[in-house]
Amino acid sequence: MSHPYAFAQDLSLLTPRLQLRPMGSDDAAAWFAIMADPQVMRFWNHAPWRELAEAQAALAVDRQAYAEGQLFKLGIYRRDSDELIGMCQCYHIEAESRRGEIGYCLASNAQGQGFMGEALEHFVRYLGQGLNMRRLEAEIDPRNQASARTLERLGFVLEGTLRERWCVGGELSDSGLYGLLLERTV
């Protein structure tokens, strides 16, 4: 399948409190701290990371996928401190259908302040207006109410539930599948 997207290496999306930009290799320690935190990873699809090398390797793989137009992944930085506090991404990109799936996370000390809604409002608008995407999808654990509410505020609609789709660390979980038709909402 072709991936005609060419994501700008120097992309920077500004919101009132945040900057969204591609992560660099110097973000490995901060990115590891987020992905090693069991609270952040509670509803994730794999266990928390245990080694800094996992962050370093993932950043390298992600950078390659970004350069190839397959993964649109941006770090979320506080504008007041330039601290990396999370990320949002669009993956499973289907170019002909102009569709992709989004994922996101915030460091635990950055949660509960509306940061993700602020980041995703700009991220989703860029996917629609900047990259001409038509449909976005998101898969979440239905128990993750903050994530569900964040999606619903953006206009995502729960389109179905897949039962016991994941088994992570021996725990089964359902998937709530959300969809957003950008041309009707953004």
Q: Does 147 bind ligand COA (CB under 6 A)?
A: yes
Q: Which one, 12 or 113, has the nearer CB to ligand COA?
A: 113
Token pair 């090398």: residue: 53
Piece in contact with ligand COA (CB under 6 A), picked from 56-64, 74-82, 147-155, 157-165: 147-155
Closest CA relative to residue 155, chosen from 108, 106, 102, 107: 102
Under the binding rule (CB under 6 A), the answer on residue 40 touching ligand COA is yes
Going by DSSP bridges, is the β-strand pair 135-140/13-14 parallel, antiparallel, or unpaired? unpaired
- Per CB under 6 A, which of residues 53..112 are in contact with ligand COA? 104-106, 111-112
149 binds ligand COA (CB under 6 A): yes
Tokens 């569900």 belong to 148
140 binds ligand COA (CB under 6 A): yes
| Residues touching ligand COA, count (CB under 6 A) | 20
Comparison of 7 and 104: residue with beta carbon closer to ligand COA: 104
Residue 117 or 130 having the CB closest to ligand COA: 117
**Does residue number 28 form part of the binding site for ligand COA (CB under 6 A)?**
no
The residue from 146, 158, 168, 177 that contacts ligand COA (CB under 6 A) is 146
Q: What is the contact surface with ligand COA in residues (CB under 6 A)?
A: 40, 43, 104-106, 111-117, 140, 144-147, 149-150, 153
